[in-house]
Amino acid sequence: MKFLPYIQHYLRLIKFTHTIFAMPFALIGFSLGIQDQLGSTNPSLLGWGWTLFWVILCMVFARSAAMGFNRYLDRNIDALNPRTASREIPAGVIGAGQALRFVILNALLFMTSAWMINRLCFYLSPVALAVILGYSYTKRFTALCHLVLGVGLSLSVIGAYLAVTGRFELLPMIFSVAVFTWVAGFDILYALQDESFDREQRLRSIPAWLGTRRSLRVSSALHFFTIAALFFAGIWADFGYLYWIGALLFSGLLIYQHALVSAIDLSRINLAFMTANGLASVAFSIFVILEIFIHP
């Protein structure tokens, strides 16, 4: 029990609860892979169970490495920002060296888990790490950093599908596009909190570049493409009513989060960021997975 507070510090460091954003889409990719395999191989529930186990570990280790590295790299910036000064590294709860070792450990565990899935996933794991770790540098030189974050999380769908099938297909890629635009859009909303600070520190972000009103329009446009991608996926795969219920719920929650945030009232950004997006991700994945296995 004496290690519990220590573990809690690291869970807060990586905002473990935010795993709820990408994990449901990884499960969609995994389920699509099983659906495709059912028509070509004899089912192996035990084998798929182990694959799911390693996929979940890959998600946890990759995200832990990415978040830990972001906190390590931004520790001096976070110390200057009143909103982030209480984070674990600037507050002295976790040392910078400890955080870096945590990142290295999780990166190695991620690659090991990918090796346990199949060789293709292992060979692509350094590419995934380059994207999700490289994101932490992007705010220093490009306002398009939100798009890089979107790319990083979008890999969850393709990666989970590859874990089951070992090949690329169009449908998981369409879902990855939806994740890409969804994440980039809500990250722009979240970054509105630091618009003035980013300008003062010469950091790059869409809000610091375009201002609040135009950033809201960019976020809305990205989420329009998210909805379009989900509808295209439903039509392409000829999904039934369960999928469309999930797609409509997801779309409604995206619209709702934009109703929560305006240029003159940013007080509900955290509600839009965490609650609306978390509910959207979980609800959508439940209906899609039900659609895949109930109406294959």
- Angle formed by the axes of helices 45-73 and 145-165, to 10°? 160
Cβ atoms < 10 Å from Cβ of 83: 10
Predicted local distance difference test score (pLDDT) of residue 42: 61
How far apart (Å, rounded) are the C-alpha atoms in residues 231 and 41? Answer: 29
**pLDDT tens-digit series, residues 44-76:** 666 788 999 999 999 999 999 999 999 999 999
pTM exceeding 0.75: yes
**pLDDT tens-digit series, residues 187-236:** 999 999 999 999 999 999 999 999 999 999 999 999 999 999 999 999 99
Predicted local distance difference test score (pLDDT) of residue 261: 84
Using DSSP's 3-state secondary structure scheme, residue 262 falls into strand
Closest CA relative to residue 131, chosen from 181, 44, 62: 62
Give the tokens for residue 290: 């039900």
- Domain boundaries along the sequence of the chain: 4-294
* Ramachandran bin of 166, using left for φ above 0, alpha for ψ from -120 to 50, beta for the remaining angles: left
Predicted local distance difference test score (pLDDT) of residue 218: 97
Closest CA relative to residue 12, chosen from 80, 101, 102: 102
Average pLDDT over residues 269-275: 74
Closest CA relative to residue 182, chosen from 156, 212, 213: 156
296 pLDDT above the threshold of 60: no
Residue 263 is given by DSSP the state T
The Cα-based distances of 133 to 57, 148, 152, 166, 296 in angstroms read: 17, 10, 9, 24, 37
Whether the CA torsion 211, 261, 254, 27 is positive or negative: it is positive
Is CATH 3.40.718.10 the right assignment for the domain spanning 4-294?
no
Predicted local distance difference test score (pLDDT) of residue 47: 72
Residue 293: what are its φ and ψ, rounded to 5°?
-100, -20
Predicted local distance difference test score (pLDDT) of residue 139: 94
Closest CA relative to residue 21, chosen from 274, 293, 219, 204: 274
How far apart (Å, rounded) are the C-alpha atoms in residues 180 and 144? Answer: 13
